[in-house]
Structure 1
Amino acid sequence: MGKLLLGLLLFAVGVTLTVQAELGLAPWDVLHSAVSQLTGFGFGTASVMTSLAVLLLAMALGTRPGIGTVLNTLLIGAVIEVLLRVGFAGAADQWPWVARLLMLLGGLAVIGIGSALYIGAHLGSGPRDSLMIAVHRRLGVPISLARTITEGSAFALGWLFGGAVGVGTVVSVLLLGPMVQLGFRVLRQTPVRPEP
């Protein structure tokens, strides 16, 4: 359980860094902003709606929710909200562009480590990571490619329907999968339990 909670905390810190870099929304957040615009619901409600739809798809592809799924849904958002309110990274919007890019890259690396820890705990992945695991299993592709497929799909749908896109979005699409894969390798975690 400790590995799960540490992973979720690190994931939230990483997301906060990418948001505060202010270089563009991450792919799933591009989709959330599009859903918000299309439905008239707030960004948070759009995120929950998306989470439920993605979780149903992941379950249809064979993944099962667990305690990690519930904690992911409840804790990550709450921690991000607190970190953003207290100005976790300071006045990053006033930093030079290169410093903000480094913040974005650092945030992606922390997300990769957090993902490897909480998924490696095998207590259930969040909706988006459950979909990544389902793609990994179904297509037999590496985690990096499975992550890139899911992030890229969210990005494409969000962009198609008018979500906010920036250079940080493109960087996230290209690098988040490899960062998660690296997190699994460095921490010697496995994305799925080995079959007997």
Structure 2
Amino acid sequence: MSKIKVIPIMPWTASSFWDLNPKSLLVLVFGLILFGLGEACLILANLGSTPWTVLSQGLSAQLGVPLGMMTFIISGMALLSWISIKVRPGIGTLLNMVIIAWMLGSMVEAFDSPKTLLARCLLTILGIFLVGLASAIYLTCHLG
């Protein structure tokens, strides 16, 4: 049975989860920043969020912890659960925890939600576009 490649190999794709190729890391960080920005757009639009972010929002509101920090904590807890299945994270996973939580938290704190429904709808569309684009960028950075 042949292996089906789902994620394409790009010029910036690293050879392993811990390959610290500067081009790969730069593209990875850029993709994660875009992803965090897209998530922040969705939250600021206040018309819906991704499941991971909804969990962070709910716990943030209940525990009084800033959203970015709560996102980081939940990501860390998920990562700790990998110990039981003996999966080792790569640099992309660790940077994902830090950069997305930082971008999400800082953008949501820095900007107010738009007031008009049209602006909120446009921000939602932008957020969905950014999350999709960012996923396409950062998922191609590291090959396992």
The question of whether the paired residues in 1 share the 8 Å contact of 2:72 and 2:98 is answered with no
1:104 aligns with 2:127: no
Higher relative contact order (CA 8 A, sep 6+): 2
Higher helix share: 1
The question of whether the paired residues in 2 share the 8 Å contact of 1:32 and 1:43 is answered with no
Identical-pair percentage: 29
> Out of 65, 70, 80, which is 1:42 matched to?
65
Residue 89 of structure 2 aligns to a residue in which SS? coil
Summarize the Cα distance change of 1:13–1:33 in structure 2 as closer, same or farther, 3 Å threshold.
closer
Summarize the Cα distance change of 1:82–1:49 in structure 2 as closer, same or farther, 3 Å threshold.
closer
1:113 aligns with 2:133: yes
The question of whether the paired residues in 1 share the 8 Å contact of 2:38 and 2:129 is answered with yes
Task: Return the index of the structure with the highest Cα Rg.
Answer: 2
Unaligned 5+ segments in structure 1 are 123-191
TM-score, normalised relative to structure 2: 0.64
Shift of 1:18: 0.8
Shift of 1:15: 1.2
- Stretch moving more, 12-21 or 63-72: 63-72
Unaligned 5+ segments in structure 2 are 1-24
Shift of 1:14: 0.8
The question of whether the paired residues in 2 share the 8 Å contact of 1:32 and 1:47 is answered with yes
Distance 1:115 1:26 in 2: 13
Distance 1:35 1:19 in 2: 15
TM-score, normalised relative to structure 1: 0.49
The question of whether the paired residues in 1 share the 8 Å contact of 2:72 and 2:101 is answered with no
Distance 1:118 1:61 in 2: 24
